Structure 1
Amino acid sequence: MRYLIALMLFLSLPNAWAEVTLTVLDQDNLPVADAVITVPNQSMSTPDKIAVMDQIDESFVPRVLVVQKGQYVSFPNSDDIRHHVYSFSKPKSFEIKLYKGTEIAPILFDEPGLVVLGCNIHDDMIGYIIVADNALAFKTDENGQVNLPVKKGDTVSLWTERTLQGINAALPITITGEEEQRITMELLPPPLDMMDHGSMTKGFGKSKWSY
C-alpha cells in the first residue's frame, strides 16, 4: 500500500505502460518469494510511515523488508524472550542490546543499500533490510510474483539472498513488454528457516551493495 500513490502517479504519466506481472522461479520451477525488484529510473519519496521489522518465534518478520532512504524502522520484539539485534552492514551499522517489547525507539536508515540483521543470542536469526535510493522497489509474494509499472525495454534489478555469487549481487532484468513475464534463475536452496515458515523464496550480475 505504501507505493500505491506513487504507482498511480507513474501510470498517469505520458508514454507509461500498464503494469507487467513478473514471476520469478528457481531451477525447480518453484516460486521465489521475497525477491526485491528495483525500478531505478522511477523515483519514490520517503514515506512518513515507520516501517516495522518484528521478531516472532525467534525469526525476523518479515525476513526481507524494503524501505526508502531516510525512512525509520522500528524493531519490536514480540517474543517472550529477549533478543539482541545488530548489523555490521555499511549502510547502517547499529546494535540494540538485550530487550523485549516495544520500548526501543525507531532507527533511521539514511543510506541506501543492503542491511543484514542478526541476533547475538540466536545465531540462526537472519533478516534483511533493503534501503532503496528513493527508487520504486517491490517484493515478490509467496507465488514469486510482483506487479511492476514499467514499459518494454526498461531494465530493473532483481535481488534475492539465494543468488549464487553472493548476497550483494543483483541481476539486471530487461522488460519484454509482455503483460506477464517469467524469469527462471538457478539459485541456492531456500534456507531451512525460510522453509519452516512457509517462504520459498549469492547473485548474478555486478554487485550493487556492500555490507
Structure 2
Amino acid sequence: MRYLIALMFFLSLSNARAEITLTVLDQDNLPVDDAVITVPQQFIGTPNKVAVMDQVNESFVPRVLVVQKGQYVSFPNSDDIRHHVYSFSQPKSFEIKLYKGTAIEPILFDKPGLVVLGCNIHDDMIGYIIVADNALVFKTDENGQVTLPVKKGDKISLWTERTLQGIDVAVPITITGEAEQSITMELLPPPIEMMDHGSMTKGFGKPKWSN
C-alpha cells in the first residue's frame, strides 16, 4: 500500500512540475512573436496590478497586451503629440479623446475577449488587448517561444493577429511533446515598420473589426 501511495505522490509531483517549451513558426519557418497561448485547464485570480498600454512613436506599446477579466488598464501617452484612443469591440467599447501624458484614469476591462484598439487621428495605430477569463495566458517571445506549465495530451489555444481564419479566432492545439514542441502555421505576413522615402509605414493595414 505504501508503495502505491509513493507512486501516486511521484506521479502527481511530476504532473505538477511538467513544462513544455512551445515554438511557434510561420510558413517561412520564421518565429511568431506576440502569439497568445491560453491554458484553459488552469485558473488564476485577477491581479491587483494596473496593466499599461502605452503609446510611443505613434504605436501602441506593447502591441499585444494580456490582462485578466476584472483588471484595470492605464493608457499613458508618451508621445509629444496627442492621440485619440478608441475601441468598438464588444468586450470593451470605449473612447479617450485627444490627450497627452498620464492624467487619464485607468479603464476597467470586466468582460473576456479580444479588444482591438485604434487611434482616431493615426489610422495605422493598431493594438490588441486580450482579456482572459481568469485562465493562465502567455505570450511568445521574439524567438516565437514560450514555456508552458502543461504536459503531453493537454489542450491549449493559440491566438495571433496573423491568423488566416480571422482576427477573432483562436486555434486549438494539443500538446504532443514531452519537453518541447514546435508548430508551423500558415499565417498572414507579420506587421512591419519600414522607411519609405523618409516616411514611416506601419503594419499590413487596418484589420476589419471583429465585433
TM-score range, shorter-chain basis? 0.7 to 0.9
In structure 1, what is the Cα distance between the partners aligned to 2:141 and 2:192? 18
Larger Rg: 2
CA shift in 2, pair 1:43/1:13, >3 Å: farther
- For residues 48-90 of structure 1, give each alpha carbon's deviation from its aligned partner in whole angstroms, at most 9, with x where no partner exists: 0000000000000000000000000000000000000000000
1:168 corresponds to which letter in structure 2?
D
In structure 1, what is the Cα distance between the partners aligned to 2:166 and 2:13? 37
In structure 2, what is the Cα distance between the partners aligned to 1:98 and 1:139? 30
Residue 150 of structure 2 is aligned to residue 150 of structure 1: yes
TM-score by structure 1 length? 0.85
CA shift in 2, pair 1:194/1:68, >3 Å: farther
| Preserved CA contact (<8 Å) 1:69 1:134 | yes
Note the residue ranges of structure 1 that are not aligned, 5 or more in a row.
1-11, 200-209
CA shift in 2, pair 1:32/1:174, >3 Å: same
Structure-to-structure mapping, 1:23-62, within 5 angstroms: 23-62=23-62
- Matched position secondary structure for 1:173: strand
CA shift in 2, pair 1:148/1:175, >3 Å: same
- Matched position secondary structure for 2:60: strand
CA shift in 2, pair 1:194/1:134, >3 Å: farther
Q: How many pairs were matched up?
A: 190
Cross-structure match for 1:115: 115
Cross-structure match for 1:180: 180
In structure 1, what is the Cα distance between the partners aligned to 2:69 and 2:194? 27
**How many percent identity over aligned positions?**
84
Cross-structure match for 2:126: 126
Task: Give, in angstroms, the shift of residue 14 of structure 1.
Answer: 7.2
| Preserved CA contact (<8 Å) 1:16 1:151 | no
Residue 170 of structure 2 is aligned to residue 170 of structure 1: yes
- Matched position secondary structure for 1:15: helix
User: Structure 1 residue runs of 4+, over 6 Å off?
Assistant: 194-197
Note the residue ranges of structure 2 that are not aligned, 5 or more in a row.
1-11, 204-209
In structure 2, what is the Cα distance between the partners aligned to 1:145 and 1:164? 20
1:21 corresponds to which letter in structure 2?
T
- For residues 104-158 of structure 1, give each alpha carbon's deviation from its aligned partner in whole angstroms, at most 9, with x where no partner exists: 0000000000000000000000000000000000000000000100011110000
Task: Give, in angstroms, the shift of residue 17 of structure 1.
Answer: 4.2
CA shift in 2, pair 1:188/1:156, >3 Å: same
Task: Give, in angstroms, the shift of residue 194 of structure 1.
Answer: 9.0
CA shift in 2, pair 1:187/1:140, >3 Å: same
- For residues 177-208 of structure 1, give each alpha carbon's deviation from its aligned partner in whole angstroms, at most 9, with x where no partner exists: 421100100000012349989x9xxxxxxxxx
2:28 corresponds to which letter in structure 1?
D
Task: Give, in angstroms, the shift of residue 16 of structure 1.
Answer: 2.3
| Preserved CA contact (<8 Å) 1:17 1:151 | no
CA RMSD of aligned residues (A): 2.1
In structure 2, what is the Cα distance between the partners aligned to 1:41 and 1:124? 36
TM-score by structure 2 length? 0.85
In structure 1, what is the Cα distance between the partners aligned to 2:106 and 2:124? 24
